[in-house]
Amino acid sequence: MIGEEVRIQVEQACLSKARAAISEMRSPDIVEIPDFVVVADTLVEDPDDPLVPFGKPRGKSEAASMLLRLSGRRHRVWSSTAILHPPYAKNAEIEILDGWTAGVWTEYSIVEFEELDDDRTVWLIGSESWIGKAGGYDIGDEEGASLVLVEGQKVTVLGFASGAIDHLVRMIS
């Protein structure tokens, strides 16, 4: 995946999660196969290079580095969401594994960070709101006050392609 656009990287990560979820369905602990399974992945695109993703930081220094890189800048947040259907569903989407099919949506939103001063950056790192968040931030958390959604949907920044959510709502309505 290295050297590919972040859009492709996030979709490949989502499809990898889809295959892992399907493999888990083979577990003897799974008594009943669900009608569908939702998997998703999100990556933040480096504002200077569409081939460099920011995933989940592995520690405080990596989180600080990501936040400082995004400070005062616009960037894309890519989310890919797959809705998986078991073999008996006979859907026309792409086949993923063992007869399971999926609809896959990959979308982006553009977010602008305000310029973060040292005190704000230290506070954000200390809050640990970066843990488990692509790019080291969460638009729905404390960082939300430092962000402007320039284009796209907030749900995409939160981790789901909005088209998949719309499809899911239609499925269950």
What are the pLDDT digits (tens) for 59-96?
999 999 999 999 999 999 999 999 999 988 877 689 99
Label residue 42 by pLDDT band (50, 70, 90): very high
Do 148 and 134 meet the contact criterion of CB atoms below 8 Å apart? no
Fold for the domain defined by 6-172: Maf protein (3.90.950)
Question: Closest Cα partner for 38 from 103, 131, 125, 118?
Answer: 103
145 pLDDT higher than 90: no
Please provide residue 29's backbone torsions phi and psi, each rounded to the nearest 5 degrees: -75, -20
Label residue 27 by pLDDT band (50, 70, 90): confident
Segment 3-9 mean pLDDT: 93
134 pLDDT higher than 90: yes
- The domain ranges of the chain are 6-172
Q: Quickly list DSSP for 34-53.
A: -S-EEEEEEEEEETTEEEEE
Percent of the chain with pLDDT over 90: 73
Q: Rounded to whole angstroms, how far apart are CA atoms 89 and 101?
A: 9
Strands 74-85 and 147-151: unpaired
> For the chain, what is the mean pLDDT?
92
| Burial of 51: CB neighbours in 10 Å, binned 0-12, 13-18, 19+ | middle
Please provide residue 97's backbone torsions phi and psi, each rounded to the nearest 5 degrees: -170, 135
